[in-house]
Amino acid sequence: MKRKLLSILLMASLSSISVAEENSTAAASNKQSSINTMTNKYEQLDKYFAALAEKEKVLGSFAIYQDGKNVYSKNYLSVDGKVEEKKVAHRYKIGSITKTFTATLVLQLVEEGKLALDTKLARFFPEIQNADQITIEMMLNHHSGIFNYTNHQEFFSYFQKAQSNKAMVERIKAYKPAFEPGERGEYSNSNYLLLGYILEAITGKDYGVLVAEKIAKPLNLKATYLEEKTEPEKNEVFPYQKLGKFVATEQWDMSTADAAGAIVSTTHDLNLFFKGLFDGKLITKDLLNKMIDVKDTYGFGIFKRTIELDDKEYVGYWHNGRIELFSSGMMYFPKQKIGITSLLNADLYDGSKIFRTLTNAAFGHPVVIPEFKVLQLTEKELKQYIGDYSSDTHPLGIKVMLDGEQLKAQADGQGAFPLTAIDKDKFEFEAAGIEMEFDPSSKEFLIKQGGRVDIFVEKSKASAEKKIKVSEGILKSYVGLYKSDDFPLDIEVLITDGKFQAQATGQSAFPLTAVSETEFTFSLAGISIKFDAEKRQLAITQHGNTNIMTKK
């Protein structure tokens, strides 16, 4: 399931516009990897995963399928606290890929005449605000305006406790709508949690039973089901955090995710599911076309992505997921009948890089072997990171200091820990699974630990920034979805809990800091956005590249 925690995925998306551009850069820096690419593409992929495993940067299962047949797979488990390669793929929580299953079940009921896309939510839950205006279709493509329950702070007070349908509906009922129904698209787990309850109300069967009877059985999916608790004897894996060695972390109660994110599956079953879906084994072609018809970037429990390779475009359909420390991705290219799956159960390395690497290999393109190195920095270089930092999303401040020749960080009331330089402006404290990336010019850093990502700003800079105030009326005039034919992502500008933010397609929201009434920045990613409310446009600049986008 998605949580609106800030991430650096947007930086990768905006600074590396297409897979083709990324490949050309990779090829230039690693010519050896492009030799005999078509014949050794999986040999290079073996070396890629071996490099990750050697440095204990990967736990999970990865696979490439061609026309339903497995052509490549790798599986890494935690055994006695260490990474170990296994031949057998295990079972993982897939998070929000569950939504693709839920949308399929809903469309099956539409096909059976038991539900319609224009059916109002009021038929089932009239107590929810705007229920008489919200349709099933709006819920399927995230246009309902129902507030995302996992975004509310109270979620973390109950997410590990069993919840009844009634209790969850009562919470969702109490939240103020994020926007008017149909006004725009915005991701909300609430839509799919409620759709699961609606499926149960219509059929009289539990959601898990419906998955088993209407999807798993017809496609012979032997390892796909709704999970209640992790059972290792069923080859189910735990989520892990690296604290010296791998340690299993606390888990959600799956009743808090249900039809929005509680399914367990394997790389094999997910590929069979997506292939079966596009082969017409679950819903009619007409309903599939409705499902993949994207509006404001959202289909029905599915996303569309076009990648460019060698001046050719390939269209894939995908969903990703995140729950606990699991992160998952599944993409299917119907024309080529290629399926790509990545299932991770530890936050050790950028999952988006792994997925792009699998995609490159699947289409016969170079694979760049990562190099993990420790940098030796001078005292002058280290001093640029020193400071007292605070965050709007984290209760503790963090002090970064120099102890002799060692850079250290210390959270309020806690002991200091050493930082090891692993790349330009990037440090880690491996024993606690902490990674910090600095932007010295803007006196900011991003810290990742255990799936959580927060941005910290040097306190003196944060105080200065707060002096620039932009009226709520002006900010509201900028809110909306912006598109451009020359830019692969849509940008949504929104105000969430009083904070002015922007969000690219399929990415987490990031904060915008006012430079003036019309210009805003996200310094850590080198992003500047300038608005022209009269023309209904924004100009987004990153790394010297500017794109003009128009509000829909």
Of 89-103, 255-269, 446-460, minimum mean pLDDT range = 446-460
Instruction: Enumerate the β-bridge partners of residue 77.
Output: 84
As a whole-number percent, the residues of the chain with pLDDT over 70 amount to: 88
- pLDDT tens for 228-266 read 889 999 999 999 988 778 889 889 999 999 999 999 999
Average pLDDT for the chain: 87
For residues 148 and 178, the answer to whether their CB atoms sit within 8 Å is yes
Residue 206 in this model has a pLDDT that exceeds 80 = yes
Q: Where are the alpha helices (DSSP H) in 32-142?
A: 37-54, 98-111, 136-140
- pLDDT tens for 388-444 read 999 876 778 999 999 988 999 999 888 889 999 988 899 988 767 788 999 888 888
Q: Which three-class secondary structure string do you get for 112-168?
A: CCCCCCCCEHHHCCCCCCCCCCCEHHHHHCCCCCCCCHHHCHHHHHCCCCCCCHHHH
For residues 289 and 302, the answer to whether their CB atoms sit within 8 Å is no
Question: Between 124 and 36, whose confidence is greater?
Answer: 124
| Diameter over CA atoms, the chain | 73
CA 312 centroid distance within chain: 26
Q: What is the CA radius of gyration of the chain?
A: 23
Residue 544 in this model has a pLDDT that exceeds 80 = no
Query: What's this model's pTM, rounded to 2 decimal places?
Result: 0.74
| Structure confidence at residue 26 as a pLDDT band (50, 70, 90) | very low
3-class DSSP state for residue 382?
A: helix
Question: Between 88 and 108, whose confidence is greater?
Answer: 108
Q: Which of 363, 356, 295, 311 has the alpha carbon at shortest distance from 335?
A: 363
Residue 271 tokens, joined: 């590929």
Instruction: Check residue 408 and give its pLDDT.
Output: 95
Q: Which residues, 6 or more positions from 59, have their beta carbon under 8 angstroms from its beta carbon?
A: 76, 77, 78, 83, 237, 240, 246, 344, 345, 346, 348
Instruction: Enumerate the β-bridge partners of residue 65.
Output: 70, 339
Beta strands at 326-333 and 444-449: parallel, antiparallel or unpaired: unpaired
**Mean pLDDT across the stretch 90-108?**
97
Q: How many CB atoms lie within 10 A of CB 36?
A: 10
* Euclidean distance between CA atoms 148 and 152, whole angstroms: 7
For residues 513 and 522, the answer to whether their CB atoms sit within 8 Å is yes
Q: How many CB atoms lie within 10 A of CB 134?
A: 26
* Euclidean distance between CA atoms 454 and 444, whole angstroms: 11
Residue 14 in this model has a pLDDT that exceeds 70 = no
| Structure confidence at residue 151 as a pLDDT band (50, 70, 90) | confident
* Euclidean distance between CA atoms 251 and 229, whole angstroms: 9
Instruction: Check residue 488 and give its pLDDT.
Output: 66
| Structure confidence at residue 31 as a pLDDT band (50, 70, 90) | very low
